[in-house]
Chains A and B, each alone.
Chain A
């Protein structure tokens, strides 16, 4: 066993996801403390060039599994390749993103190498003795668990936006090792991707979320939130009430039976703040509430609030943001 941290890089269509660079930051902190190094592994077809980027972001060694057979993601197939690598290079820690991809893949890898996995963590701390103390919200954030992993390797999936992305240092050359596939026979295979309407940014990945609840009153009224979101480069979210009313798709729902999010800015419009909703967004860095009811629970967690008619306030707010952006 080593003191090294292995980061499983996530790429889609040959582009590394931002969360991968966040994983590298977390990995660097732990490896630095233990005197180990950060390595990365990337899988796909035509992904060789990504090794340079991973090296510039701090990976000492990059394992590249570049094969036409990996063009289409397969959880069991990818997990097999990763498990073989983990067994061979014996990292102390394996980090993976807690995205739809990572949440699908990580338990399968963990099961194969019989490792303990702490999922959807928001923080890791390398402690003396080579063990991590992992912070992970439970009950969608109504409580926080601190856990320790008793296996080698220790596996963690890390929630996006939990760490700043690692800075790129130009000129750092990659030490690349090719991973050769051995009897690759995937069972479940992704054959197609159906894009949601428009250039839709997912709430789970967004830095800014503009969210609407019961107070929106109907699906058409979301146009004012869409407009604000496009000015801010934000995703549009929704409360359960709005989703259950059929105004927004399930994939937009924030809360205990939707997505748990931690954006830099969460703007809640016409959302009263049911306990399930608060649980899903309370870790946002800055929260803004716009609601006509001054007693709405959302104001108890909001950094800034405006008590008023959202249909008046939101368009004015959008105009002010436009002015600011134009002035910059």
Chain B
């Protein structure tokens, strides 16, 4: 089973996001592998351990994104490919999916995995657009997968409101990982050492036969980023638990009118 995992480097969720002059400040951010992509990598490794094959990681991003590949390679993936070009900056989900689709012409795959969204821009689009571009089915928010013995189809569970949907799909297909799919492993010392010997190829726009101008169409354009509206701290209701609980119900009913 040849498995490709598309991953993204994002700011750590513990990061404080500072907005200045209509943009998010990149300085001072700690960059990590997108948490949802970690579930995708883990699932790919488990499938490989069970069925054999190869796990290839692909990321589209600037120089710093190479570290995300190294972090995920240390978990046991076979190869990492860094797709990087100044022309790729800020192209949005459609642009990134176009780049990934071009890269995937050069990588054999039976399954493609990614996290369901990046925890930075929260768009949740790239992997699904990629599926459409490659003419493949997709299943999103995956929490469980069973691959048929012949390796030609899969029975998948995906999260929906109030339960799980069971989805049948042929392979190859694109899958996006939801929390709950698995518990990602930690890198072993051996894994971390092995990364030092790995060569991470860099693929540029020209290597993929991509016209940089076409990518810059920017279907969705950022006008500005603003800080979220500040919430003023409210009031603490004093008194013994009995009185406080009673007063809270009164306030929610009469003042806030929420029930």
Seen from chain A, the residues whose Cβ lies within 8 Å of a Cβ on chain B are 73, 75-76, 79, 99-101, 103-104, 106-108, 110-112, 114-120, 133, 136-151, 187-196, 200-202, 204-205, 208, 232, 249-251, 253, 256-258, 260, 264-265, 275-276, 282-283, 285-288, 294, 299-309, 312-313, 316-317, 319-321, 324
Taking the closest CB of chain A, its distance from the CB of B84, in whole angstroms, is: 23
User: Is residue B179 within 8 Å, beta carbon to beta carbon, of the partner chain?
Assistant: yes
Interface residues of B in 236-259 (CB under 8 A from A): 236-237, 241-242, 244-246, 248-249, 251-253, 256, 258-259
Chain A, Cβ-Cβ closest to B140? A104
Q: Which residues of chain B have C-beta atoms less than 8 A from A200's C-beta?
A: 162-163
Interface residues of B in 164-213 (CB under 8 A from A): 164-170, 173, 178-180
B215-228 near A? 1/0 per residue, CB < 8 Å: 00111111111111
Whether A146 contacts B252 by the Cβ 8 Å rule is: no
Taking the closest CB of chain B, its distance from the CB of A23, in whole angstroms, is: 16
User: Is residue B78 within 8 Å, beta carbon to beta carbon, of the partner chain?
Assistant: no
Q: Which residues of chain B have C-beta atoms less than 8 A from A286's C-beta?
A: 252, 256, 258
From B69-77, B105-113, B116-124, give the one contacting chain A: B116-124
20 A–B contacts, CB within 8 A, in A order = A75-B137, A76-B132, A76-B138, A100-B141, A100-B161, A108-B132, A114-B219, A138-B122, A140-B119, A150-B218, A188-B173, A190-B167, A193-B165, A195-B163, A283-B228, A303-B256, A316-B245, A317-B248, A324-B249, A324-B253
Whether A288 contacts B248 by the Cβ 8 Å rule is: yes
Identify which of A192, A276, A320 contacts B14 (C-beta below 8 A). Answer: A276
Q: Which residues of chain A have C-beta atoms less than 8 A from B180's C-beta?
A: 249-251
Whether B179 contacts A76 by the Cβ 8 Å rule is: no
For the complex, give the distance between the alpha carbons of A112 and B224 in Å: 28
From B1-9, B16-24, B41-49, B52-60, give the one contacting chain A: B16-24
Q: Which residues of chain A have C-beta atoms less than 8 A from B123's C-beta?
A: 119-120
From DSSP, what is the main secondary structure of chain A's interface residues? mixed
User: Is residue B85 within 8 Å, beta carbon to beta carbon, of the partner chain?
Assistant: no
Q: Which residues of chain B have C-beta atoms less than 8 A from A193's C-beta?
A: 160, 163-166
Whether B225 contacts A148 by the Cβ 8 Å rule is: no
For the complex, give the distance between the alpha carbons of A104 and B219 in Å: 19
Q: Which residues of chain B have C-beta atoms less than 8 A from A308's C-beta?
A: 241, 244
Whether B120 contacts A146 by the Cβ 8 Å rule is: no
Given A144-B226, A144-B227, A321-B259, do A188 and B139 touch, yes or no (CB 8 Å)?
yes
Whether B219 contacts A115 by the Cβ 8 Å rule is: yes
Identify which of B24, B94, B133, B258 contacts A264 (C-beta below 8 A). Answer: B258
For the complex, give the distance between the alpha carbons of A80 and B97 in Å: 19
Beyond known contacts A75-B137, A75-B138, A76-B138: 9 more, CB 8 A cutoff: A103-B141, A110-B129, A114-B219, A139-B24, A150-B218, A190-B166, A256-B13, A265-B252, A275-B16
Identify which of A103, A118, A189, A282 contacts B228 (C-beta below 8 A). Answer: A282
Q: Which residues of chain A have C-beta atoms less than 8 A from B19's C-beta?
A: 143
Chain A, Cβ-Cβ closest to B178? A250
Q: Which residues of chain B have C-beta atoms less than 8 A from A138's C-beta?
A: 24, 120-122, 225
Chain A, Cβ-Cβ closest to B259? A232
Interface centre among A76, A202, A258 (most CB of B within 10 A): A76
Identify which of B133, B159, B221 contacts A100 (C-beta below 8 A). Answer: B159
Q: Which residues of chain B have C-beta atoms less than 8 A from A312's C-beta?
A: 241
Whether A143 contacts B242 by the Cβ 8 Å rule is: no
Whether A100 contacts B228 by the Cβ 8 Å rule is: no
Whether A196 contacts B162 by the Cβ 8 Å rule is: yes
